[in-house]
Amino acid sequence: MAVGEGVGVGGWQGELLDLEGYLGRTGFRGERAATEGVLRELVRAHVTALPFENFDAVLGAAIPLDVPAVQDKMLRRRRGGYCYEHAALFAAALERLGFRFTALHGRVTLGSEKVTPATHALLLAEIPGDDRRWLCDVGYGAGPLEPLELLDGARSEAGGWPFRLERRPGEFGIDHWWLHHRGPDGWVDRHTFTLTPQHPVDYVGGSHYVGTHPRSPFTRRAYAQRFDGRRHQILDGDEWTTVLPDGTRSSRTVHPRDLGRVLGEEFAIVLDEDTAALLADRTAANTPPPR
């Protein structure tokens, strides 16, 4: 989809998804049904198999959100994507499997009191015949390994990675929900969101800002994450950091020319030679010389 185009109200192109290709890429082996168990398995499979990366934004390439383009990139070419791409793919899978869901927009805060733009895509899923609603944050790069029931105080400790939800009164009488993760110094608010439904075209607009605006952090430097449930791998420019569930961190510097190899071996992101070379050049240009 280009900016200004849509796919119809509530239409997430599930009919265009290669469902078996998606399930195979994520390693999902459960039944094809809209149940709580399937939703739990599906979230964990997606989060741990599909990496996060912003390389197209850094390199000035188009980032379409239509399902054929996203699945070609993330399933067939074995790239990663950022939150809008992940949400588009997961929404199509939910639609195909018979789940009801609402697309949402969040504001990434990371403990800051500044008002940030609403540019994080996440989904609220429902199971047929069940009144509960489940937050599925599959596009953050290291989101909860299971869906969180939308309840004030809901918690997840899956894999030893703690998260909790909080509900607070917001402006204009609209409640705000906050997702917190536990850091070395205690709980940190990761992002806040409301329950205002979003349509596919809303994600196109948000993605256009994130992927093209000169003040967007995603257009400035390469960023990638892989979260396999045992460790969280982060690449920020040329700095590669590994985080364990107990908060232990180790960092090292990657030479720009080694990025393609490291991304393939450690982040499950496959880059062709041209893209790897362009990314190396861009990273080298952004890296200060050694003192």
Spatial distance between the Cα atoms of 181 and 157, rounded to a whole number of angstroms? 10
Local structure of 135: helix, strand or coil: strand
Local structure of 53: helix, strand or coil: strand
Query: Is residue 82 a contact partner of residue 88, using CB atoms and an 8 Å limit?
Result: no
DSSP-assigned beta bridge partners for residue 255: none
The number of beta carbons lying within 10 Å of the beta carbon of residue 68 is 12
DSSP-assigned beta bridge partners for residue 193: 106, 177
Q: In what order do the strands lie in the sheet with 249-253?
A: 52-53, 223-227, 232-236, 239-243, 249-253
Residue 264 tokens, joined: 């393939």
Q: Which of 199, 197, 203 is nearest to 3 (CA)?
A: 203
Chain length of the chain: 291
Residues carrying an active site annotation: 83, 120, 137
Helices (H), 75-159: 83-97
The number of beta carbons lying within 10 Å of the beta carbon of residue 60 is 11
DSSP-assigned beta bridge partners for residue 149: 134
